[in-house]
Homo-oligomer: A and B are copies of this chain.
Amino acid sequence: MTSETRPYHHGDLRSALVQAGVQLARSGGAQALGLRELTRQVGVTPNAAYRHFADHRALLLAVALEAQEHLAEEMRKQMNTIRDDADPADRALHRLRAVGTGYIHFALAEPGWFELAILNPPERGDEAAPPPSIDDRVPVPFQLLLDALDEMVTAGLLTAAQRENAEWACWSTVHGLADLATRGPLRHQDPKVIDRLAGHVVDTVIQGLRG
């Protein structure tokens, strides 16, 4: 069928909505993802969305998962810039650094996606009898951090004691700078300056972990 014919049935409206959301979010952030705007974008009636999503928030979260995947991708990209046969310690350090700088770099390069990626899942207290652990999966970007820290331990750069709670120190630092650089007082700084700062704060926190 040609692109002119608009069939009554869309075919894959669900993923079309999500993809439209990903595009809109890229330039406009979460706020650009009105249910009406998304359906408009796809060329479909607003209520059609309700065939595929319980409500507006569910649609938003589906888009957020995509954004999270983009974030993880950038982090992985930076993590993989070291050869596999490098010295384990160098490798561990490089990868931990990359987790942090990748996170910040992504926030700068794609602020709209970043905003979405850190979007909250629905409140737990809302439903009666919350499903115990369903969909309690650890977000991929966070898992990359956990893995990198474990690798630091394996490589002998971090003791078990130092490893404890290290993820929160790391995530706090890196997320904090990302927030300052996108929503906060650094939001109009030259990206080059931010990237330099990113390297500095990441090194600082890693230094701090090692005592």
Contacts and interface: CB of A to CB of B under 8 A. Distances in A.
Interface of A: 118, 120, 124-125, 142, 165, 168-169, 171-177, 179-180, 183-188, 197, 200-201, 203-209, 211
A164 to B, nearest CB: 9
B184 A168 contact: no
A176 B172 contact: yes
B209 A168 contact: no
24 contacts: A118-B183, A120-B184, A142-B185, A165-B197, A165-B200, A168-B200, A168-B201, A169-B173, A172-B172, A172-B173, A172-B176, A172-B180, A173-B173, A173-B201, A174-B176, A175-B176, A175-B179, A175-B180, A175-B184, A176-B179, A204-B208, A206-B208, A207-B207, A208-B209
A1 B172 CA distance: 53
Nearest to A121: B185
